Amino acid sequence: MSAKLSRVITLQRLITDLTAYWEEKGCLIEQPYDYPMGAGTMHPATFLAVLGPDPWRCAYVQPSRRPADGRYGENPFRLGRHLQLQVVLKPSPEDVQELYLHSLERLGIDRTEHDIRFEEDNWESPTLGAWGVGWQVVMDGMEITQFTYFQQAGGIDLAPISAEITYGLERIAMFLSKVNSIYDIHWNDAKTYGELRRADEFQMSKYSFEVADVGRTTLLLDQYELEAQRCLAAGLVMPAYEATLQCSHLFNVLDARGAVSATDRVGWIRRVRNLACACAKAYLAAREKAGEPEPEPAAV
Amino acid sequence: MTTHDFLLEIRTEEIPAPVVAPARRDLARLVAEGLAEAGLAAASSESYGTPRRLILILRGLPEKLEDKFSEVLGPPASAAYDAEGHPTKAARGFARAQEIPVADLVVVDSPRGPTVAARRTIPGKPAIEILAAAVPKAVLAMTFPKTMRWGDGGRAFVRPVRGIVAVFGGQVVPFELFGVASGLRTVGHPVLSELGIRVSGPDEYFRRLRASHVEPDGAERRVKILEGARALASEVGGSIESDSDLASTLADLVEWPGVVRGSFAPEFLELPEEITTTAMRTHQKYLPVRGPSGLMPHFVAVMDNTEDRRGLIAKGNEWVLNARLADARFFFEEDRRQRLESRVPELSRLIFQDKLGDYRQKTERVRRLGETIAHAIGRFDLVEPVTTAAGLSKADLTTRMVKEFTDLQGVVGGIYARLEGQPEPVWKAIYEHYRPTGVGDEPPRELTGAILAAADRFDTLGGLFRLGLVPTGSRDPYGLRRAASGIVAIVIGRGWQVNWKPVAREALAGYVDLPAGGVEEGLAELEKFFAERLRNLLERRGNSHDEISAVIGRGVWDFADAADRASALALARRTTDFRSLVLAAKRIRNILGEAAPGYPDPALYREDAERRLAADFLQARALVDELNASRRYRDAMETIASISPSLDNFFEKVLVNCPEPELRQNRLALLGSIEKAFSRLADFSEIVVEK
């Protein structure tokens, strides 16, 4: 294990090491979803898969877009688009914390040499009608992972409960290599993060904060909402959910652009939430029709 | 009776730090209640908590309940045994019904004469059985701010339960909770100790836990943290603040508290201290280090580990803090590119409250209220700094710094205003206007700050009460209780003798964009609301319940005046005359009821006692009026009390409800005048006295 420490830490190796670890633990390795989203949780392999009774274990990388977090490539710690490594374990295993801590060991982190704490942090997504209870894993003062027992998704109480482990990959890479800027992380042995991403970050920030056309974006939001509703009416859950993802993303763009007042925000969140909950319901109904077992009511 | 010790450990995944102490106390209470219901009580009870364990120890618990003896009377002896002394059918039937052998029947004396009786010993229930039922029941009855489910779903608890130790007198108390069976095994520190631990009692448990790097006692952990931190700080010539809240939180974040010291780039000391210390304390939970010349570029962090073997923990924390401070500096420099005034137009895009407009509008209303209040307290010289401060008071809500460090709203505005060269009364007002932030916090120290704080809060209360959004029960999402308490605290602290009703009305009416109406209704609700807050504050200051009722019953809107009267009452009531006065006041109240008797006519006095009372009353009233005018309430109350001998004499000698209607009316009128005149200060009949 200490052999790992002498190798240069690269984002690429971080991803392969973590992916290999979770594959060994029985996770199906999914691929990033090809729609823009703010967090790995929104990938159907989490949001929809946690619904219903069927067991599920998967892991995947998900690029996560948060336009409001963009900093034109100038701030050394913040990105408008970062990479998450998402792990879902359904039902949550008894030794889930140990599994997670062993994954850190796979990265060369010796538990006895660090201060690793689970500090209360309960995650909530009003747009997805989802919330969970859990922690931020804090290592030597730095938050490196969101660790959540998912309680509800799409407005539906979950049974069984899924454990969701979300690693902030750039942060971990930065922390392990002790560089002063995210852009100095090694993507692989040859290229830095900055060489690949700094220009993108600048352009995307400029777009989100200054250039995005408010009228057109709002129009697109409205249109995707309609399209989502049409798909639901036609009994097509996946296209409906994809349109919902677009709504959520375009809302984030409008928000970054400064075009969302506090009262508007409440309204928009409600609209996207309604779509997400409708998709969740439709998903479960479709599985039921297909002969999947009905979700068992949680034992009281 | 043999007694044993009982040990309970509920081992969980990490419980949120603020929940640990309340949870272990809750557990202890619920178990004690459950045992008491079954008739069992321990000699002593101790509870402990770590982030991963809730621990209860009961010492000297009897191993079973006392045996009970019962004796049930049956048929008379004469009917129970025949001439040869053999048991009859009656006796056998009785024995069978009592489920004891016939031969065990005895004959006892009873009022009916010699009677057959069935004596039974009902063995006391073993404590282990009682515990096995009561403990799981207690655990399931625990309440938490938030609970969660795990695994297959099922029952909720604060965090997943991973192990249970329940042992009484060396034996396992058998039960199952959340799919986990109780037993004798637990684990030590998950990182520092590999081996499992098997225990048979509390003392062994404590020893083995501590040997496995778990300190079960939160108070001990806290002491270790503070001692360790002090030592590390003094190594660099500094010290830490006693910071009890942070130390308590830190104690409940670890099972084995170690401390490390780190440092940050000294250039960050150029940042305003409030920002640096907030980044350390609030975000990172570090203890700042101060030296003789102020904040030092060092901090102390707590770790759930014995030592920082390779220095990685200190390094890691330093790296994080430097990153946060670099961020803060970035925001600071960005923010400083723009003056506060130029941010004000942006406030139109920041909604204050749904239906109540934006922050720009709020700023305007607060300016006007600030001016009103400055006039109300007779300080028109402060109108300018107050209104300037008001105008800028919310500008910091658009800054990056406040977006990042939300607790620093006001403070950041004040700092930026200072750096822009605003005079002290202006920047300090902005800086302090959110205080008091809670019960323990002080009100603003600067007079302009106090005025602005009151104005801002009146405006917030005005808007929400106009909408009818009065807090109920435990729901107060807009913090209105805190807002109103803040005003009361500020006003009483400053002794501002003002009737706040017109100010409150102005606040309610200030929302001109709302549909007409709602002002007077809101005002009535607000009066009740302020009465409650006033009551709370006076209670905290040591006034008793009846004193407060006596004073609030006579006017709420001048808070400082009410407080003065309450203080006066607390002192005045110690005299014996006062006690008599109260009894008389109650008596007068009873006699008068709903009557409004008008003025007494001296020509109608018949008894000396009446005349004497009238004379003493008039004299006292003149003096009391003078004393009231100069707010010397204690003297006023004692003066009022001085007529109680005359009152007592009057009640002794005079029949108020006499047959002659004129005289009766007159006597009622005299009592009515007395009540009316003196009860302006307080409703003395509310005071509780022993008869």
Query: Where does residue B3 rank: exposed (0-12), middle (13-18), buried (19+ CB within 10 A)?
Result: middle
Q: Is the pLDDT of residue B477 over 80?
A: no
Choose the mutation target among B52, B144, B147, B150 for the interface with A, i.e. most A CBs under 10 Å: B150
- Which of A208, A226, A260 terminates a domain? The answer is A208
User: Above 90 in pLDDT, residue B296?
Assistant: yes
CA torsion angle B407 B408 B409 B413 (round to 10): 180
- Residue A298's pLDDT is what? 59
User: What ipTM was assigned to the predicted interfaces of this complex?
Assistant: 0.90
Residues 335-354 of B with CB under 8 A from A: 349-351, 354
**Nearest-angstrom CA–CA distance, B501 and B460:** 15
Please give, rounded to a whole number of angstroms, the shortest distance from the CA of A12 to a CA of chain B.
22
Q: Averaged over B103-125, what is the pLDDT?
A: 88
A3 pLDDT more than 50: no
Residue at A62 is within a domain: yes
Contact flag B149-A159 (C-beta cutoff 8 Å): yes
pLDDT at B172 over 90: yes
**What residues in B contact A114, CB-CB < 8 Å?**
305, 312-313, 316
Considering only B226-235, B415-424, B437-446, which range has the smallest mean pLDDT?
B437-446
Interchain contact A2–B (C-beta under 8 A): no
Which residues of chain B have a CB within 8 Å of the CB of A122? 146
Residue A7 banded pLDDT, cuts 50, 70, 90: low
Residue-wise pLDDT for B604-636, tens only, equals 888 888 899 999 999 999 999 899 888 899 888
Q: How far is B320 from chain A (nearest CA, A)?
A: 6
Q: Can you give B606-632 as a three-state secondary structure string?
A: CCHHHHHHHHHHHHHHHHHHHHHHCCC
Burial of A77 (0-12, 13-18, 19+ CB in 10 A): middle
Tell me whether residue A294 is in a domain.
Answer: no
Q: Domain ends where: A208, A239, A263?
A: A208
Q: Do A159 and B152 touch (CB under 8 A)?
A: yes
CA distances from A104 to A1, A116, A147, B493, B547 (A): 11, 10, 14, 55, 63
Is B309 touching A (CB cutoff 8 A)? Answer: yes
Query: For position A156, what pLDDT does the model report?
Result: 95
Cis check: omega of the bond before A160, within 30 degrees of 0: yes
Of A91, A141, A262, the CB nearest to B316: A141
A95/chain B closest Cα distance in angstroms? 9
A133 interface with B at CB cutoff 8 Å: yes
State mean pLDDT over B235-256.
91
Give the chain B residue whose CA is nearest to the CA of A120: B16
- In this prediction, residue B407 has a pLDDT band, given cuts at 50, 70 and 90, of confident
Mean pLDDT of B369-397: 96
Task: List, as ranges, residues 272-291 from A with C-beta within 8 Å of B.
Answer: none
Q: Examine residue A196 and state whether it is found in any structural domain, yes or no.
A: yes
Model-level pTM?
0.81
CA–CA min distance B155, chain A (Å): 6
Q: What pLDDT band is residue B355 in, cutting at 50, 70 and 90? A: confident
Please give the residue of chain A at the shortest CA–CA distance from B146. Answer: A133
A161, A285: one domain: no
B455 to A95, B386, B458: CA distances (angstroms): 55, 10, 5
Secondary structure class of B133 (helix, strand, coil) = helix
For the cut 50, the answer to whether the pLDDT of residue B168 exceeds it is yes
Average pLDDT of the segment spanning B335-351: 92
**Quick check: B245 pLDDT over 60?**
yes
Q: Does A92 touch chain B (CB under 8 A)?
A: yes
Q: What is the pLDDT of residue A67?
A: 95
A261 vs B contacts (CB less than 8 Å): 349, 351
In a domain, A297, yes or no: no
The residues with which B603 forms a beta bridge, in sequence order, are none
Buried b vs exposed e over B86-98: b needs ≥16 C-beta within 10 Å? ebbeebeebbeeb
Between the two ends of chain A, the Cα-to-Cα distance in Å is 45
Cβ–Cβ of B320/A140 closer than 8 Å?
yes
pLDDT score for B517: 87
**Structural domains in chain A (count):** 2
| Chain A nearest-CA residue for B156 | A300
Residue B689 pLDDT exceeds 90: no
| B161 to chain A: closest CA residue | A94
Task: Find the closest chain B residue to A181 by CA distance.
Answer: B323
- Write the DSSP symbol of residue B685: G
How high is the pLDDT of residue B406? 84
CB distance A9 to A55 below 8 Å: no
In 3D space, the residue among B450, B557, B453 whose CA is nearest the CA of residue B500 turns out to be B557
Is B403 an interface residue toward A (CB < 8 Å)? no
The answer on A95 and A164 residing in a single domain is yes
pLDDT at residue A60 is higher than 90: yes
Residue type, B575: T
Dist CA A70 CA A211 (whole Å): 14
Q: Are residues A157 and A252 in the same domain?
A: no
**Chain A residue with minimum CA distance to B305:** A115
Q: Are B559 and B458 in contact (CB under 8 A)?
A: no
Residues A32/A33/A38/A43 CA torsion (nearest 10 deg): -100
Taking CB atoms and an 8 Å limit, are A115 and B304 in contact across chains?
yes
For residues B635-653, average pLDDT: 88
**Residues on chain B touching A115 (C-beta within 8 angstroms):** 301, 303-305, 308, 313, 316-317
Give chain A as a 3 state SS string. CHHHHCCCCEHHHHHHHHHHHHHHCCCEECCCCCCCCCCHHHCHHHHCCCCCCCCEEEEEEEEEECHHHCCCCCCCCCCCEEEEEEEEEECCCCCHHHHHHHHHHHCCCCHHHCCEEEEECCCEEHHHCEEEEEEEEEECCEEEEEEEEEEEECCEEEEEEEEEEEEEHHHHHHHHHCCCCHHHCECCCCCEHHHHHHHHHHHHHHHHHHHCCHHHHHHHHHHHHHHHHHHHHCCCHHHHHHHHHHHHHHHHHHHHCCCCCHHHHHHHHHHHHHHHHHHHHHHHHHHHHCCCCCCCCCCC
CB contact under 8 A, B320 and A141: yes
- What is the domain partition of chain B in residue ranges? 3-64+126-211, 68-122, 218-335, 341-540, 562-686
Angle between helices A11-24 and A169-177 in degrees, nearest 10:
120
Cα atoms in the Cβ-side hemisphere of radius 13 Å centred on B455: 34
Rounded Cα distance between A50 and A58, Å, is 11
C-beta atoms of A263 and B351 within 8 A: yes
Nearest to A138 by CA among B250, B402, B400, B227: B250
Q: Are B94 and B105 in contact (CB under 8 A)?
A: yes
Q: In this predicted structure, which of A167-171, B350-354, B558-562 has the lowest mean pLDDT? A: B350-354
Any domain includes A172: yes
- Residue A260 belongs to domain with CATH number: 1.20.58.180
Residue A42 and residue A172 in one domain: yes
Mean local confidence (pLDDT), B572-590: 83
User: For tokens 């603003």, what's the residue?
Assistant: B444
If you average pLDDT over residues B517-541, what whole number do you get?
93
On chain A, the residues whose CB falls within 8 A of the CB of B308 are 115
Contact B462, B511 (CB under 8 A): yes
Name the residue among A77, A112, A140 with its Cβ closest to that of B323.
A77
Residue B493 in this model has a pLDDT that exceeds 60? yes
Q: Is A115 on the interface with B (CB under 8 A)?
A: yes
Read off the pLDDT of each residue in A164-170 and give the average, rounded to a whole number.
97
Same domain assignment for residues A186 and A56: yes
Q: Residue A292 — pLDDT band, cuts 50, 70, 90?
A: low
pLDDT of residue B390: 97
Q: What residues form DSSP beta bridges with B115? A: B76, B108
CATH pick for B562-686 out of 3.30.930.10, 1.20.1260.10, 2.60.120.260, 1.10.730.10: 1.10.730.10
Q: How confident is the model at residue A88 (pLDDT cuts 50, 70, 90)?
A: very high
Contact B305 A94 (CB under 8 A): no
Q: Which domain holds residue A271?
A: 213-289
Instruction: Answer whether A140 sits within 8 Å of B313, measured CB to CB.
Output: yes
Q: A219 with A204, same domain?
A: no
* Yes or no, beta carbons of A94 and B309 under 8 Å apart: no
Mark whether A106 and A253 lie in a shared domain: no
Q: Give every CB contact of residue A104 below 8 A, 6+ residues apart in sequence.
A: A111, A116, A139
CATH number belonging to domain B341-540 = 1.10.3210
User: Which pLDDT band, with edges at 50, 70 and 90, does B581 fall under?
Assistant: confident
What percent of chain B is modeled with pLDDT above 70? 100
Q: What angle do CA B25, B26, B31 make, to 5 degrees?
A: 100
B414: left (phi over 0), alpha (psi -120 to 50) or beta: alpha
Query: Is the model's pLDDT at B462 over the cut of 80?
Result: yes
B309/A112 Cβ within 8 A = yes
Mean pLDDT of chain A: 92
- Domain CATH for A113: 3.30.930.10
Which helix (H) or strand (E) is B72 found in, with range?
A: strand B68-76
Residue B61 contacts residue B40 (beta carbons within 8 Å): yes
DSSP per-residue codes, B352-381: SSTTS-BHHHHHHHHHHHHHHHHHHTT-GG
Domain boundary among A208, A227, A258: A208
Q: Residue A273, exposed/middle/buried by CB under 10 A (0-12, 13-18, 19+)?
A: buried
Question: Both A27 and A141 in a single domain?
Answer: yes
Confidence label for A159 from pLDDT (cuts 50, 70 and 90): very high
CB contact under 8 A, B253 and A94: no
Put simply, the answer to whether A298 touches B153 (Cβ < 8 Å) is yes
Residue A75 lies in a domain: yes
Inform me whether the pLDDT recorded for B422 exceeds 50: yes
Among A117, A136, A177, A266, pick the best mutation site for testing chain B contact (most B Cβ within 10 A): A117
B330 close contact with A: CB closer than 8 A: yes
With cut-offs at 50, 70 and 90, classify the pLDDT of residue B241.
confident
Assign A96 a pLDDT band (cuts: 50, 70, 90): very high
The CA–CA distances, whole Å, from B394 to B360, B397, B432 equal 8, 6, 12
Q: Which positions in chain A touch B478 (Cβ < 8 Å)?
A: none
Mean pLDDT of B406-423: 94
Distance in angstroms (rounded) separating the CA atoms of residues B137 and B30: 9
Token digits of residue B330: 């970035």
pLDDT at A263 over 70: no
Q: Is B691 on the interface with A (CB under 8 A)?
A: no
- DSSP output for B519-575: HHHHHHHHHHHHHHHHHHHHHHTT--HHHHHHHHTT-SS-HHHHHHHHHHHHHHTTS
How many Cβ atoms are within 10 Å of B235's Cβ, its own excluded? 11
Q: Mark whether A138 and A232 lie in a shared domain.
A: no
Q: Of the candidates B148, B154, B319, which has its C-beta nearest A149's C-beta?
A: B148
As beta bridge partners, residue B257 has: B304
pLDDT bucket at B52, cuts 50 / 70 / 90: very high
Q: Does B517 touch chain A (CB under 8 A)?
A: no
Does A276 share its domain with A200? no
The mean predicted confidence, pLDDT, of chain B is: 92
* B 161-200 residues with CB < 8 A to A: 162, 191-192
Give the A window 186-205 contacts with B, CB below 8 Å: none
Between CA B144 and CA A120 the distance in angstroms is 14
A276-294: average pLDDT: 86
- Per-residue model confidence as pLDDT tens digits over B299-334: 999 999 999 999 999 999 998 899 889 889 989 999
Say if residue A2's pLDDT is above 50.
no
Are A230 and A269 contained in the same domain? yes
Show residues of chain A in contact with B310, CB under 8 Å: 113
More confident call, A1 vs A179: A179
Asked if residue A129 belongs to a domain, the reply is yes
Interface size A-B, in CB pairs within 8 Å, comes to 123
List the Cα angle A244/A250/A251 in 5-degree steps: 90
> B639 near B624, Cβ under 8 Å?
yes
Q: CB distance from B145 to chain A under 8 Å?
A: no
Choosing among B11, B152, B176, which should be mutated to test the A contact, i.e. which has the most A CBs within 10 A?
B152
Q: How far apart are CA A233 and CA A36, in angstroms?
A: 24
